[in-house]
Amino acid sequence: MGKLKLAVLISGRGSNLQALIDACAAPDYPAEIALVISNVAGVEGIERATNAGLPVLVIDHKKYPSRAEFDLEMTQAIEAAGVELICLAGFMRLLSEEFIDHWHNRMINIHPSLLPAFKGLDVQARAIAAGARFSGCTVHYVRFDMDTGPIITQAAVPIHTGDDADTLAARILLQEHIIYPQAVRWIAEGRVMIENQQAIVDGADAPTAAVINPLP
Sites in the chain below the pLDDT cut of 70: none
Local structure of residue 150 (DSSP, 8 states): -
Whole-Å CA distances, 216 to 168, 200, 211, 212, 213: 22, 34, 12, 9, 8
Spell out the residues 6+ positions from residue 27 whose beta carbon is closer than 8 angstroms to its own.
none
Following DSSP, what letter does each residue of 6-68 receive, concatenated? EEEEESS--HHHHHHHHHHTSTT-SEEEEEEEESSTT-HHHHHHHHTT--EEE--GGGSSSHH
Q: Report pLDDT for 138.
A: 98
CATH number for the region 1-103 comes to 3.40.50.170
Q: Report pLDDT for 100.
A: 97
Q: Report pLDDT for 51.
A: 98
Q: Report pLDDT for 133.
A: 98
Local structure of residue 116 (DSSP, 8 states): T
Catalytic residues: 111
Q: Report pLDDT for 57.
A: 98
Distance (Å, whole) CA 122 – CA 133: 17
Q: What CATH architecture is 110-140+151-216?
A: 3-Layer(aba) Sandwich (3.40)
The answer to whether the CB of 19 falls within 8 A of the CB of 45 is no
Q: What is the pTM of this model?
A: 0.96
Give bridge partners of residue 194 from the DSSP assignment.
199
- The boundaries of every CATH 3.40.50.170 domain in the chain are 1-103, 110-140+151-216
Q: Report pLDDT for 169.
A: 98
Name the strand (E) or helix (H) holding 206: none
Q: Report pLDDT for 143.
A: 97
Q: Report pLDDT for 93.
A: 94
